C-alpha cells in the first residue's frame, strides 16, 4: 500500500521545502487539526524524527493561536 512503492511515501526534501510549498512546519494537511508526523512529512521524513518534532511544534502553535 505504499504510494508508488516508495518507502518514504514520496521524495524526500530534507530538511527544506521550496517557498510556499509547505506550511509553517511542513506537516500541515487540508484538515486544520490533522498533521503528518511520519515519513510522509514534507520537511524531514524518513527515519529522521523531524516529522514528529515538527508535528508537535505545529500542534503547540495551533493551540497558542486558539488561546489568543
pLDDT of 19:
61
Average confidence (pLDDT) over 2-9? 66
pLDDT of 41 reads 77
* pLDDT value at residue 47: 67
CA distance 26 to 30: 12
pTM of the model: 0.65
Per-residue pLDDT band for 59 (boundaries 50, 70, 90) equals: very high
Percentages helix, strand, coil for the chain (3-state, rounded to 5) are: 30, 5, 65
CB 43, CB 54: distance < 8 Å: yes
Place of cell 509553517: 24
Amino acid at each position: 500500500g505504499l504510494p508508488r512503492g516508495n518507502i518514504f511515501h514520496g521524495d524526500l526534501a530534507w530538511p527544506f521545502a521550496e517557498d510556499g510549498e509547505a506550511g509553517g512546519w511542513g506537516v500541515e494537511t487540508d484538515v486544520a487539526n490533522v498533521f503528518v508526523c511520519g515519513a510522509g512529512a514534507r520537511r524531514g521524513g524518513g527515519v529522521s524524527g523531524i516529522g514528529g518534532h515538527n508535528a508537535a511544534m505545529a500542534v503547540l502553535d495551533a493551540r497558542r493561536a486558539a488561546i489568543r
